[in-house]
Amino acid sequence: MVDSGVLNNILTFGPVFLLIAVRAFAMIQTAPLLSSEAVPMAAKMALAGLASFAVLPTAEIYFAANSPNGVVSLPGGTLSDLRYETFGLRFGLLVIGEAVIGIIIGFFMTIIFAAFSTAGQFFSLQMGFGASETFDPVAQIENPLMGQYFNLVSMLIFITIGGFHQLFLGGFWRSVQTINIISLLEGREPVVFMMAAGLSRLFMDAIVISLPILGTLFLTSLTTGLISKAAPQINILSEGFPISILTAFLLLFASLPFLIEAFTRVLEAGFTSIQSLYIQIGRPVTGGTF
C-alpha cells in the first residue's frame, strides 16, 4: 500500500512532479533498451513516476498556486527559476520544453549505441551476411546478424558498467538539478555541437571497431581473387564464402576482449559528453558525484 506521505508530496507539488515526470518519460521513450517495444508502456510510466518522485526533493520550481505572494518554493537543487500560472498556457509550454530535454538526453545515448550496430553492418556484406537482415528488437530496425550481435554485446556491457545507474543519476538527475528549457535555449550552440559531434563520433567509432575485421576480410577477398586468376579451374565463388565467414568468426573470437574494452570506452565517452553539456549550459551543483 502506498504511503500517505508519498501521495501528499506528489499532490502538494503536483505541477513540479508533472514537469519532472514528462522529462523522465521522454528520456525513457528515446533511450536505448528502455525504449524497446518489449518493455510494457505501464512499466515505462511507472519507472518515470518513480524516478520523478526520487529527484523531486532536489528540484526547485517557483509557481503561483494559492500562496500569499503567489510563489511556492520547493527547496533543494535547481530545476528552473520561472514563474507561471499552474496548468496555464505557460505551464503547457514548459511541459513541452521538459519533453524536449528528455528527448535530447535519450536520443544522444541512442546515437552512441548506433555505433555498434553500424560497425556490424560495415563488414556483414564482406563476410557474406549481407542478405541476412532481420528485425532487431533492441535497435528496432532491420539489422544484419553482425549488427544484432554487436547490439547484444553492447547491451550486456551497458548493464555491466552500470549504464542505467549513470543514465538516471548522471543524465536525468543532474539535468533536473542544472538545466531547464530556458538554459537549453540560451545554450543551444553547445547542444547542437554535442549532437553533431555525436553523429561524427558514431561513424568514427564504428570504423575503428570494425576496421580490423573489415581490413582482414578485404585481404581475404583480394587473396581469393588472385587465386581465381591464377587457377581458373577452382570454383572460388563457392569456396570464398565459407573462408570469409570462418575468418570473420575467428577474428571476432580473438578480438572480443579488445572489442569489449572499446565498447566500454565509447559508452563512457557518451556519458562524459552529457555531463560536459550540463557544465557548459547549466547552473553549478555542489556536492555529489555522477
pLDDT, tens only, 25-53: 999 998 888 887 778 888 899 999 888 88
- 288 within some domain: no
Can you give the pLDDT at residue 25?
93
When pLDDT is averaged across residues 187-204 and rounded to a whole number, the result is 84
When pLDDT is averaged across residues 15-24 and rounded to a whole number, the result is 85
- 31 within some domain: yes
Can you give the pLDDT at residue 16?
79
- 287 within some domain: no
Q: Is the pLDDT of residue 286 over 70?
A: no
Can you give the pLDDT at residue 55?
84
Q: Is the pLDDT of residue 211 over 50?
A: yes
Q: What is the DSSP string of 128-147?
A: T-TT--EEETTTTEEE-HHH
- 28 within some domain: yes
| Minimum mean pLDDT range among 47-61, 80-94, 148-162, 182-196 | 80-94
- 166 within some domain: yes
When pLDDT is averaged across residues 109-124 and rounded to a whole number, the result is 83
Q: Is the pLDDT of residue 69 over 60?
A: no
When pLDDT is averaged across residues 107-134 and rounded to a whole number, the result is 78
Q: Is the pTM here over 0.85, yes or no? A: no
When pLDDT is averaged across residues 185-194 and rounded to a whole number, the result is 84
Can you give the pLDDT at residue 27?
92
Can you give the pLDDT at residue 89?
75
Q: Which three cell numbers, joined as nine digits, stand for 269?
A: 565517452
Q: Is the pLDDT of residue 135 over 80?
A: no
Can you give the pLDDT at residue 229?
74
Q: Is the pLDDT of residue 91 over 80?
A: no
- 286 within some domain: no
When pLDDT is averaged across residues 124-138 and rounded to a whole number, the result is 67
Can you give the pLDDT at residue 26?
92
Q: Is the pLDDT of residue 191 over 50?
A: yes
Can you give the pLDDT at residue 202?
84
- 290 within some domain: no
Show the domain range for 150. Answer: 4-281
Domains: count for the chain: 1
- 174 within some domain: yes
